[in-house]
Amino acid sequence: DGHLRVFEWPSLKIVLDQPKAHKSIKDLDFSSDGTFLASSEDGGPCRIWNLETSVPAASLSVDKGERIVFCKFSRDGAKPLLFTAVKQGDKGLIAYWDTNTWEKVGTRAFEKDPISTFNISSDGKFLAIGTCEGDISVIEVSKMRLFRRVKRAHIAFVTSLDFSQDS
């Protein structure tokens, strides 16, 4: 229903309560310092919430014909970025945003097919992309370039992927 709630643990005190944050929520990610929460829906803006003040910090939009579907904060702390997976027609793009200004830094096309899932490694060095055609790509964040691609890793679309914590 798009109702976004964030609870403090273990008290379960409500930190953020936004009944109409989105039409429906597709993805969420906390910044590494816990200050911000990014939320996205399939087709709407990516919203950034300041968890210290419980107010919206930004609403990120892309160009006409594009849709933000997933959002992940950088993890290394050296270069504070938010990565968003964007559908542009039948292409899969990654847009990246400066978390100090919420301005778009750049956009790179990595997939000829729509992105069906998206994640970031715990050290922040790599992004993983799964596509509707079953391909998996790993992106090297420091250079924003393709590191490795596995074509047809799945028979159908990739629904979820993650990085192992020990490698």
Give pLDDT, residue 4. Answer: 96
Contacts of 54 (CB under 8 A, 6+ apart): 15, 16, 17
What gap in Å lies between CA 94 and CA 80, rounded to an integer?
Answer: 16
Structure tokens at 8: 């403090």
Task: Please name the residue that has the structure tokens 């210290």.
Answer: 52
What gap in Å lies between CA 70 and CA 86, rounded to an integer?
Answer: 7
Neighbours of 62 (CB within 10 A): 18
What gap in Å lies between CA 101 and CA 97, rounded to an integer?
Answer: 8
CATH 3.40.50.1820 given to domain 4-114: no
Give pLDDT, residue 167. Answer: 63
Look at phi and psi of residue 23 and say left if phi exceeds 0, alpha if psi is from -120 to 50, else beta. Answer: alpha
Name the residue ranges covered by the structural domains of the chain: 4-114
Structure tokens at 6: 């964030």
Neighbours of 14 (CB within 10 A): 11
Asked if residue 118 lies in contact with residue 93, where contact means CB atoms within 8 angstroms, the answer is: no
Give the H/E segment covering residue 18: strand 14-18
CA angle 43, 108, 61 (to 5 degrees): 30
Give pLDDT, residue 77. Answer: 72
pTM (whole model) above 0.85:
yes
What gap in Å lies between CA 167 and CA 151, rounded to an integer?
Answer: 22
Which residue ranges of the chain lie beneath pLDDT 70? 167
